[in-house]
Amino acid sequence: MIQVGIVGGTGYTGVELLRLLVAHPEVSVSVITSRSEDGLRVDELYPNLRGHLDLAFTKPDVKRLSECDLVFFATPHGVAMEMAPELVAASVKVVDLSADFRLQDTEQFKQWYGMEHTCPDLLTEAAYGLPELNRAAITGSSVVAVPGCYPTAVQLGFAPLLENGLVDTARLIADAKSGVSGAGRQGKIDNLLCETSESMKAYAVPGHRHLPEISQGLQRISADSVGLTFVPHLTPMIRGIHATLYSTLCSTLTGQSTQSLQELFEQRYADEYFVDVMPAGSHPQTRSVKGSNQCRISVHQPQGQDVIVVLSVIDNLVKGAAGQAVQNMNILCGLEENCGLSQVALMP
């Protein structure tokens, strides 16, 4: 059994990680940490885990965590980069769900997250954990940076078009919506039911923290420089990301048929267990992926013109966070990629 530790298990991502790991046939969760809840049984905070986990929260202890085979960080930004070097030195694999190892440019990290990066040497070794686009780099890595939820949905949606040089990379638009759980479990007035119910709003239009991560990822895919407009929205639902992605066919390719684009997407993701290209004309719904590690995608060419519209939906807590973290763990540990992740989405 793979001995796993979790640093920061009290948030929505942490409990989702636990939900998946306690049902994983090859994993034993041996330690879970929280400074604020030290000594409290996990199933007292999260009763859904009663009968599945017999652990209490403890304060983070690198020596104890070093006894694990792999450690997940479900912590605020800045925590993983402080503890990861010592864990890696002890031959422990690190899977980080925060942004500490996502951006390769330390100045960008400082600009968007307001702190210096404390282990740039380890940053250069970290693999970006979007398996469908970066599987080879993940295999054998000691540190994996789990992508953000918006970046996951956006990159998977744009990838087939950019890989084949079909669209104008200078004019990419990502119009994305998120459920309220994407803002985390901490108490904020803007996240209260009365503030979010029966309302929708855009936010961070001048610049969202996920913008440089998405741009970095799209640039890796594309042979050309990328210009991206990214506008996130908060929607009155608990879980889910819905990304509507707009791009314009290159002038030399005007007249490309929707059928050929459909085939392109189907072929690109034919061997990807967690990406489902929907039938032509489909409009995937966030509820169709709720609680699962699936990304469902459809591609449209409205009125046969040169604008391509891709719809991409995921559960922000699963494929957008904890599920993708487990998917990366499976790769690192030589397991089948879908091991412990075959849950059918919850409906209604």
Whether residues 64 and 191 fall in one domain = no
Whether residues 208 and 277 fall in one domain = yes
Asked, for residue 332, whether it belongs to a domain, the answer is no
Whether residues 108 and 205 fall in one domain = no
Which are the catalytic amino acids?
149
Whether residues 111 and 160 fall in one domain = no
Whether residues 198 and 235 fall in one domain = yes
Task: Give me the phi and psi of 59, to 5 degrees please.
Answer: -70, 145
Q: How far apart are CA 217 and CA 84, in angstroms?
A: 23
- For residue 228, the domain's CATH number is 3.30.360.10
Q: How many domains, in total, are found in the chain?
A: 2
Question: What is the pLDDT confidence band of residue 189, given thresholds at 50, 70 and 90?
Answer: confident
Q: What is the pTM of this model?
A: 0.96
Asked, for residue 144, whether it belongs to a domain, the answer is no
| Residue predicted with more confidence, 308 or 184 | 308
The 10s digit of each residue's pLDDT in 99-110 is 999 999 999 999
pLDDT score of 293? 98
Asked, for residue 176, whether it belongs to a domain, the answer is yes
Whether residues 249 and 286 fall in one domain = yes
pLDDT score of 348? 87
The domain boundary residue, chosen from 81, 108, 125: 125
The domain boundary residue, chosen from 108, 125, 142: 125
Whether residues 163 and 270 fall in one domain = yes
- For residue 26, the domain's CATH number is 3.40.50.720
pLDDT score of 317? 98
Whether residues 170 and 273 fall in one domain = yes
Q: What is the pLDDT averaged over residues 136-156?
A: 97
Whether residues 154 and 111 fall in one domain = no
Question: What is the pLDDT confidence band of residue 256, given thresholds at 50, 70 and 90?
Answer: low
Angle at 122 between CA 121 and CA 127, to 5 degrees: 125
Domain containing 84 equals 2-125
pLDDT surpassing 70 at residue 253: no
Question: What is the pLDDT confidence band of residue 185, given thresholds at 50, 70 and 90?
Answer: confident
Whether residues 293 and 161 fall in one domain = yes
Whether residues 217 and 159 fall in one domain = yes
Question: What is the pLDDT confidence band of residue 329, given thresholds at 50, 70 and 90?
Answer: very high
Asked, for residue 324, whether it belongs to a domain, the answer is no
Rg (CA), the chain: 20
Question: What is the pLDDT confidence band of residue 254, given thresholds at 50, 70 and 90?
Answer: low
Asked, for residue 79, whether it belongs to a domain, the answer is yes
Asked, for residue 252, whether it belongs to a domain, the answer is yes
Asked, for residue 162, whether it belongs to a domain, the answer is yes
The 10s digit of each residue's pLDDT in 267-284 is 999 999 999 999 999 999
Asked, for residue 201, whether it belongs to a domain, the answer is yes
Whether residues 246 and 283 fall in one domain = yes
pLDDT surpassing 80 at residue 344: yes
H-helix segments, the chain? 12-21, 42-45, 62-65, 80-89, 106-113, 120-125, 131-138, 149-163, 193-196, 210-221, 258-268, 323-332
